[in-house]
């Protein structure tokens, strides 16, 4: 039973947020004035347990999900994360298990994550300038720790990493070539992501978005590019450097939305299911789980929810949408 939603889209990918906490306060995601010391983060008992997450992953896999990405908040803050990775790596039918992190805790955790069965890692990197890093991530932790994290990941066996860079006009757009040059040298695949209007606290304005076409022009002028075929469900347009020095991705979520191919569900750390990054409401799976329902009931609930899905926020985005109620990125998992 593999459900299709109202636009004929299958359910193939699941993002699982394992915590709503983070050791950074990136302005585009968890600005400090909205996520200060009094912010009501989830209590431990409100989080899904590893057993609950794995059970749900197994049920989702039965409905067609083959790809799972762990995210957050900062997923490496979740205690014993490698234990969860090991449990998920053993779920039959789950072909692709990945994780997105800000990288700061990789020196401590990369080897354990690898040993637990993680094969794909994405590290967020918006700047190579230490002072700018401090401003953008609004933390006392330093850029050198993230760079040490990249080295630790390589030493642990993650030879090719994905690097995510969110560009903001007038903030870090002047580093496009430096970041691309760094990724080329290191053998990593950089993906530039357009700044999105996720949540309601990040002060998003269309004028702050650096369009993917502009990034492409700049890169192509320096290192000529050729397109790669996009795999089904891919959100990035992927390009190869003609000189053979690797690949680069452009995620044009704002200027060229890809809702028609969106096959992702999202599970928040407190067990709510969201069928769009810009959703305002989730389905309380944790309540359902904890009230003793069996796997068949859960599968039927998930399938019914997916069949109802008509989300295509990015296609419908208008100048007035930033004011609508939306869930925050750190809750839903980026
Ligand atoms: N803490 C981890 C990290 O930063 O990689 C994982 C969670 S984070 C929410 C996942 C991804 O979402 C990161 O690559 C981050 O840069 C991206 N992100 C957060 N807010 C965003 C926004 N407003 N627009 C575009 N990307 C955003
Ligand atoms: Fe934390 Fe990642 Fe959000 Fe930055 S983007 S505040 S590192 S969750
Ligand atoms: Fe998918 Fe929603 Fe993003 Fe469209 S706006 S691509 S439906 S998550």
The position carrying tokens 């009230």 is 291
Q: Is the CB of 198 under 6 A from ligand 1?
A: yes
At 201, the pLDDT band (50, 70, 90 cuts) reads: confident
Mutation test residue for ligand 1: of 163, 208, 334, the one with most atoms within 8 Å of CB? 334
303 pLDDT more than 90: yes
| Ligand 1 center from residue 152 Cα (angstroms) | 21
**258 Cβ closer than 6 Å to some ligand 3 atom:** yes
Element (H, E) at 130: helix 130-137
pLDDT(204) > 70: yes
Q: Does residue 143's CB lie within 6 angstroms of at least one atom of ligand 1?
A: no
Other C-beta atoms lying within 10 Å of the C-beta of residue 296: 10
Q: Distance between CA atoms of 204 and 206, rounded to whole angstroms?
A: 7
Q: How many helices (H) and strands (E) does the chain have?
A: 11, 12
Contact (CB, 8 A) for 24 and 139: yes
Instruction: Give the integer Cα–Cα distance in Å for 236 and 239.
Output: 9
- Tokens at residue 13, please? 């990918």
Q: Which of 267, 332, 276, 283 is nearest to 309 (CA)?
A: 276
Q: Provide mean pLDDT across the span 225-247.
A: 90
| Mutate which of 72, 106, 163, 171 for ligand 2 pocket (most atoms within 8 A of beta carbon) | 72
* Whole-angstrom Cα Rg for the chain: 19
276 lines ligand 3 (CB under 6 A): yes
Check pocket membership of 317 for ligand 3, CB cut-off 6 A: no
Q: What is the mean pLDDT of the chain?
A: 93
Is a pLDDT exceeding 60 seen at residue 250? Answer: yes
Distance in Å, CA 102 to ligand 1 centroid: 9
Find where tokens 């347990």 sit. Answer: 49
CA of 238 to the centre of ligand 1 (A): 19
Contact 17, 79 (CB under 8 A): no
Q: Determine which residue's CA is closest to atom 5 belonging to ligand 1.
A: 101
| Phi, psi at 14, each rounded to 5° | -135, 130
C-alpha separations of 254 from 32, 54, 137, 209 in Å: 25, 33, 22, 8
Q: Which ligand is nearest to the CA of 262?
A: 3
- Ligand closest to CA 26: 2
Domain coordinates in residue numbering, the chain = 13-332
Q: Measured from the CA of 329, which atom of ligand 1 is nearest?
A: 9
Q: Which residues line ligand 2 (CB under 6 A)?
A: 22, 24-26, 29-30, 72-74, 102, 124, 330
Residue linked to tokens 């990593």: 188
Measured CA to CA in angstroms, residue 209 lies from 126, 193, 233, 276, 322 at distances of 14, 9, 23, 20, 14
Burial annotation 266-286 (CB, 10 A radius, 16+ → b, else e): bbbbbbbbbbbbbbeebbebb
β-pair partners for 250: 192, 237
Q: Average pLDDT, stretch 51-62? A: 98
Centre of ligand 3 to C-alpha 255, Å, is 13
pLDDT given for residue 22 in this prediction? 98
Torsions phi, psi for 321 (to 5 deg): -70, -25
60: which 2 tokens? 């989702």
Average pLDDT over residues 124-147: 97
Identify the band that residue 55 occupies on the pLDDT scale cut at 50, 70 and 90: very high
**Ligand 1 atom having least distance to the Cα of 22:** 1
- pLDDT single digits (tens) 90-114: 999 999 999 999 999 999 999 999 9
At residue 299, the pLDDT reads 97
Please report which ligand is nearest the Cα atom of 166. Answer: 1
Tokens (6 digits) for 279: 């959703």
| Nearest protein CA to atom 7 of ligand 3, as residue | 312
- Give yes or no for residue 22 CB within 6 A of ligand 1: yes
Domain range 13-332, CATH class: alpha beta
Reported as a single tens digit per residue, the pLDDT across 31-49 is 999 999 999 999 999 999 9
């Amino acid at each position: 039973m593999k459900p299709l939603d109202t636009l004929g889209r299958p359910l193939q990918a699941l993002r699982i947020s394992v915590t709503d906490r983070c050791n950074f306060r990136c302005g585009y995601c968890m600005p400090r004035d909205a996520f200060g010391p009094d912010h009501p983060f989830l209590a431990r008992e409100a989080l899904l347990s590893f057993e609950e997450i794995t059970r749900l992953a197994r049920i989702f896999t039965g409905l067609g999900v083959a790809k799972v990405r762990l995210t957050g908040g900062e997923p490496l803050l979740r205690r014993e994360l490698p234990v969860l990775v090991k449990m998920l790596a053993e779920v039959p039918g789950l072909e692709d298990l990945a994780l997105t992190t800000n990288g700061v805790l990789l020196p401590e955790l990369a080897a354990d994550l690898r040993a637990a069965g993680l094969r794909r890692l994405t590290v967020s990197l918006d700047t190579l300038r230490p002072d700018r890093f401090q401003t953008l991530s609004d933390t006392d932790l330093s850029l050198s720790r993230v760079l040490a994290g990249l080295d630790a990941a390589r030493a642990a066996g993650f030879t090719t990493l994905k690097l995510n860079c969110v560009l903001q006009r007038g903030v870090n757009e002047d580093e496009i070539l430096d970041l691309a040059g760094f990724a080329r040298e290191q053998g990593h695949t950089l993906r530039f992501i357009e700044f999105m209007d996720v949540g309601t606290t990040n002060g998003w304005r269309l004028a702050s978005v650096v369009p993917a076409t502009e990034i492409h022009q700049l890169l192509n002028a320096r290192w000529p590019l050729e397109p790669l075929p996009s795999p089904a469900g891919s959100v990035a347009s992927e390009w190869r450097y003609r000189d053979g020095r690797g690949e680069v991705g452009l995620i044009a979520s704002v200027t060229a939305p890809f809702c028609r191919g969106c096959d992702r569900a999202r599970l928040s750390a407190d067990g709510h299911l969201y069928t769009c990054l810009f959703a305002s409401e989730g389905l309380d799976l944790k309540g359902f789980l904890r009230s003793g329902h069996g796997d068949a009931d859960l599968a039927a609930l998930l399938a019914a929810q997916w069949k109802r899905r008509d989300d295509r926020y990015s296609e419908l985005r208008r100048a007035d949408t930033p004011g609508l109620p939306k869930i925050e990125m750190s809750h839903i998992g980026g």
